[in-house]
């Protein structure tokens, strides 16, 4: 298992894809060092396009390249990718159903010191609502590497949500990432936590603390937000009788709503809580400070578990 940021796993996968698939091309909007596309550009300069601070042009160029049979990964900070290019994403990528992979790095309030204007907390809401678009958020370095490979083979628009901060490795090479499949990390009872991205790690820390009180939730990594693993959600919600979702995203439009929709549509009535940003902008600070202040830390996940067990 390898520790590291999901953006680093993405960068490693791009190098591997560059060697194995000559159709893979990478585009960046002037942040290639931070987004981890720079090594690909050094290794394969003829297949790397630094578009500068021109995100809309980058997305349209990626769509054009896709129509020629290339597999473009258009990469920049999530706040810039979704904040400045929605028209191009809607028309040139989604409506046109072009084979473009949009990689948004530095997502969520975990980006910390970059400040609230860079803390993209609505990107899953945006992309979940777009027809033809799938939405993926890996939980560690290895899953990010595998997800990048899988998306290169997938035909159609995709949004890959990546983080800035270093995460503890959860998976080794024996793990198999599959689009639309959740993964049970810990099997427990009485409550199930569906977590995504960095909140998988916070949930694991919460479970270590809860174990001392003989509380053993089930923990599931939901790395595909759309299409979501409805069968697994239904099964585990019925088995455990209470559901918590955990994500570094606004409480509207992200994982919590995706899971809630599955429960509602299948007439599953169980206590349900969201650990998420509570419809507010954060401030500047470290990721740990912001997670604690805005309700996303392991302490808050553990608190949510105790509260929902009382509701049962």
Active-site residue (options: 16, 43, 46, 55) = 55
Hey, is 17 helix, strand or coil?
helix
Instruction: Report the distance separating Cα 240 and Cα 219, nearest Å.
Output: 11
Q: What is the DSSP letter of 92?
A: I
Beta strands in 23-127 (DSSP E): 24-28, 48-50, 71-77, 101-105
Task: Please answer whether residues 81 and 62 qualify as being in contact, where contact means their C-beta atoms are separated by less than 8 angstroms.
Answer: no
- Contacts of residue 175, defined as CB under 8 A and 6 or more positions apart, other chains included, come to 142, 143, 146, 183
3-state helix, strand, coil in the chain (%, to 5): 45, 20, 35
Task: Please answer whether residues 107 and 78 qualify as being in contact, where contact means their C-beta atoms are separated by less than 8 angstroms.
Answer: yes
DSSP string, 176-234: ---TT--EEEE--SS-EEEE-THHHHHHHHHHHHHHTTT---EEEE--EEES--HHHHH
- Cα 6 from chain centre: 9
Q: E strand or H helix at 276, and its extent? A: strand 272-277
Q: Look at the chain and count its residues.
A: 312
43 catalytic? Reply is: no
Q: Give the catalytic positions in this structure.
A: 55
């Amino acid at each position: 298992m390898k520790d590291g940021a999901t953006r680093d796993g993405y960068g490693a996968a791009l190098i591997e894809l560059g060697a194995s698939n000559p159709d893979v091309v990478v585009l960046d909007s002037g942040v290639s060092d931070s987004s981890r596309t720079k090594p690909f550009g050094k290794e394969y300069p003829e297949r790397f396009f630094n578009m500068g601070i021109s995100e809309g042009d980058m997305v349209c160029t990626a769509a054009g390249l896709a129509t020629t049979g290339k597999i473009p990964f258009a990469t920049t900070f999530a706040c810039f990718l979704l904040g400045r290019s929605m028209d191009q994403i809607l028309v040139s990528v989604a409506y046109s159903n072009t084979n473009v992979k949009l990689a948004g790095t530095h997502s969520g309030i975990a980006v910390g010191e970059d400040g609230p204007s860079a803390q993209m907390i609505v990107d899953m809401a945006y992309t979940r609502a777009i027809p033809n678009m799938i939405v993926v958020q890996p939980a560690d370095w290895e899953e990010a590497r595998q997800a990048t490979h899988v998306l290169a083979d997938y035909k159609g628009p995709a949004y890959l949500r990546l983080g800035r901060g270093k995460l503890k490795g959860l998976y080794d090479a024996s793990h198999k990432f599959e689009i639309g499949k959740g993964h049970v990390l810990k099997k427990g009872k009485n409550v199930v936590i569906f977590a995504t991205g960095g909140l998988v790690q916070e949930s694991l820390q919460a479970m270590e603390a809860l174990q001392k009180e003989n509380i053993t939730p089930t923990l599931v990594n939901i790395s595909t937000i759309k299409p979501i693993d409805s069968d697994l959600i239904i099964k585990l919600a019925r088995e455990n009788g209470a559901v918590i979702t955990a994500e570094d995203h606004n409480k509207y439009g992200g994982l919590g709503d995706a899971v809630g929709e599955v429960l509602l549509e299948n007439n599953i009535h169980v206590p349900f809580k969201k650990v998420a940003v509570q419809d507010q902008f954060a401030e500047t600070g470290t990721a740990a400070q912001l997670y604690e202040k805005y309700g996303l830390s392991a302490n808050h996940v553990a608190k949510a578990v105790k509260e929902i067990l009382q509701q049962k």
